[in-house]
Amino acid sequence: MKKTLIVLSFIFIILISWVLYSYTRPAILVGKSDDGNWYAEYVPESVPAKKDIWSGKLRWQDEGTIAVTLLEFNENGHVLTSDDEEKVDVNPGDHLDFVAIGERPNNSDYTLLIKWNIDGKSMEETINFQQKKRFFILPF
């Protein structure tokens, strides 16, 4: 009985320590378009974990192939990154990078402007990011 209590206490302490460690890590940024066709996240790179490098990924969740013409990542209305050099064909479920080597976000307002063509029509969407805390992050 004593041995079981010690093992359970040890597991509980490890679990609480893991949650506390995870909670102290910076929040990630997540956003979704109003119609649910786009999902974006701005997260720290896991490899290499020695540097504080962040990256942004965007996913098209609707049906049909589209041509993305502009991705513009903004902080408080100021453009941080912009990719409007060429059209990129995107299929459902494809990921696009809107930031490759970014910095840790602060308490600013972040948005992502997306422009694309589908069936000959130009479309535009702005995603507003929200901070999201994570509770189970691997410490290595």
Query: What is the per-residue pLDDT for 13?
Result: 92
Total count of domains within the chain: 1
Q: Is residue 120 part of a domain?
A: yes
Q: Is residue 118 part of a domain?
A: yes
Judge whether 8 lies within some domain. no
CA dihedral 84→85→90→95, nearest 10 degrees, is -70
CA angle 125, 59, 65 (to 5 degrees): 80
- What pLDDT was estimated at residue 49? 56
- Is 38 within a domain? yes
Residue 10 lies in a domain: no
pLDDT in tens, the chain (140 residues): 788 989 999 999 988 888 887 777 788 899 999 989 999 999 988 754 567 788 999 999 988 889 999 999 999 989 988 887 677 888 888 888 898 888 888 889 999 999 999 888 999 999 999 999 877 676 65
Q: Give the model's pLDDT for residue 140.
A: 56
Which residues form the domain of 93? 28-131
CATH number of the domain within which 79 lies: 2.60.40
103, part of any domain: yes
Residue 25's pLDDT is: 79
Does residue 2 form part of some domain?
A: no
- Do the domain assignments include residue 44? yes
Cα–Cα distance list, 31 to 23, 40, 41, 61 (Å): 20, 5, 6, 13
